[in-house]
Amino acid sequence: MEPPASGRVPAAAAWGLLVAWAVHDAEEIATTPGWVERARPRLRRRLPRVPDAVWDRIGAGGERMTVAVALMGVLVAAAAADGARTGGRSRLYQGALAAFGAHAAGHVGSALLTGGYTPGVITAPTVVVPFTWWARRALRGAGVEPARFSPATLALVPLSIGAAHAGAAGLLWLRDRARRPHRRSRSAWSVVGRACDDHPMLDREFAWKGDRIRWTRLGAGPPLVLCHGTPWSSALWGPIARVLAERFTVHLWDMRGFGASTMAADQDVSLGEQGQLFAELVRHWRLPEPPRVVAHDVGGAVALRAHLLHGLEYRSLALVDVVALAPWGSEFFRLVHDNAEVFTRLPAPLHEALVRAYIAGAAHRPLPPAAHDALTAPWLGPAGQPAFYRQIAQADQRHTDAVEPLYPSIALPVLVVWGTEDAWIPVARAHQLAGLIPGAALRLVPGAGHLIQIDAHDALLEILRDWLAAP
């Protein structure tokens, strides 16, 4: 396209800024979420001093990125409209045009620095640079001197992007705060605390080999099942379940020997038993369609066994900091396994102190007192204390060894989510697990430990919302 000979700036020079920006950002939106994981080996090799947490944050994508792009779109649209109104003389339009053109150098430079593709590098030289060059010629042809590329212009790029992401984070926080029945995480965890004390959430029962398996159903919509791990119960999912129940029929349940379900001597609470139980429980529910399943910790092993060994069908499966790959089991597990009877006879105060310390080690940040109390409560008393050591003593790696070779045969959408600071199951397992399951997506959560539901409640909720909303 040739610029006009004189006098008038074409509307395409103004509104074309919005179109060119939309084409360029479409490439970034489409490629950013999976790019980090594909490029991670190259990034580590080229930039070994950059912490993995930086790449995790860049590749996070998701709802926050979408909102940030929308906010940038509003800014670019305003600049384009102002440019059209003023015949290209607007400072806002000229500044946006100059910054848009200048930032192409950043894309090309990042690709050279990292030694390969980076999101946006294709449209930077093919769309951003040609359009900026043409629009600036059009301005000059109409007698309008365009703004120069200066350090101040270059500074607009990171400042505007940072402002958009900060605004997106603020808007999502306000939205989630308005949607939650309990405004603060502490009050939400107070609800979970009460749930652990008198189990008002799990108001239904399923009879299994003489035991009562407690469960409940919340909300309305497509079926969703949340599976807990050890030493937790469904209460850990409580605050997230209440939000997801706005769109789904959420099913919560406590495994045999956990939480509100029966705790009794001589129970089989092994992962093999729990996998079979889960398959039968879901079939008992007679759901209208295969459920979406989200599983945490050993709940992942249970869900995987139910699917791979017992034929339970899922719409999709999200595995959150799961036990799924050998080797697993800490020194503490082995000590309890060899001395379960000794631990069962510990004085109650010593036992409670041990459980509290054990649970605290799963979080990256200090636990809110209400959460710490809620997670500890089921394992106290004459039934809870032996149940705590019983489930540890029966934890056996052979139950994951039986299904690990079958992971490449999984033929459903799978998401692997992991806290980068998980001290119980290192984040390297997330990469390994995602690599074994065909087409599995991987999302890492910076600053979250094994208790990701508490360490990074909002981030996990955002990831699950995005994943579960997929058709």
CATH code of the domain containing 259: 3.40.50.1820
**Residue type at 285?**
W
Q: Considering 145, 177, 209, which residue would you say is the last residue of a domain?
A: 177
- What's the start-to-end Cα distance of the chain, in Å? 41
Q: CA nearest 198: which of 235, 242, 163?
A: 235
Q: Considering 146, 177, 208, which residue would you say is the last residue of a domain?
A: 177
The answer to the question of residue 371 being in a domain is yes
Looking at the fold, whether 264 and 152 belong to one and the same domain comes out as no
Looking at the fold, whether 89 and 162 belong to one and the same domain comes out as yes
The answer to the question of residue 425 being in a domain is yes
Confidence (pLDDT) at 168: 59
Looking at the fold, whether 102 and 149 belong to one and the same domain comes out as yes
Beta carbons of 190 and 197 less than 8 angstroms apart: no
The answer to the question of residue 426 being in a domain is yes
Looking at the fold, whether 212 and 238 belong to one and the same domain comes out as yes
Confidence (pLDDT) at 225: 98
E strands in 219-332: 223-227, 249-253, 292-297, 316-322
* Token pair 């970034």: residue: 28
Range of the domain at 88: 11-177
The answer to the question of residue 3 being in a domain is no
The answer to the question of residue 407 being in a domain is yes
Beta carbons of 131 and 138 less than 8 angstroms apart: no
Confidence (pLDDT) at 98: 85
The answer to the question of residue 1 being in a domain is no
Looking at the fold, whether 419 and 445 belong to one and the same domain comes out as yes
Looking at the fold, whether 195 and 141 belong to one and the same domain comes out as no
Looking at the fold, whether 69 and 149 belong to one and the same domain comes out as yes
Q: CA nearest 384: which of 282, 265, 296?
A: 265
Per-10-residue mean pLDDT of the chain, 471 residues long, equals 54 88 86 72 78 58 67 83 86 85 86 86 92 88 74 58 62 56 43 40 89 93 96 93 93 96 94 97 94 97 97 97 89 78 86 91 90 92 94 92 96 96 93 96 94 94 92 72
Confidence (pLDDT) at 198: 36
Element at 191 (helix H, strand E): helix 185-198
Q: Which two tokens stand for residue 324?
A: 């799924």
The answer to the question of residue 254 being in a domain is yes
Cα separation, 319 vs 302, in Å, equals 11
Looking at the fold, whether 446 and 299 belong to one and the same domain comes out as yes
Looking at the fold, whether 226 and 371 belong to one and the same domain comes out as yes
The answer to the question of residue 6 being in a domain is no
Looking at the fold, whether 33 and 52 belong to one and the same domain comes out as yes
Looking at the fold, whether 123 and 236 belong to one and the same domain comes out as no
Confidence (pLDDT) at 237: 95
Q: How many domains does the chain have?
A: 2
Cα separation, 37 vs 117, in Å, equals 13
Looking at the fold, whether 204 and 57 belong to one and the same domain comes out as no
Q: Considering 148, 177, 206, which residue would you say is the last residue of a domain?
A: 177
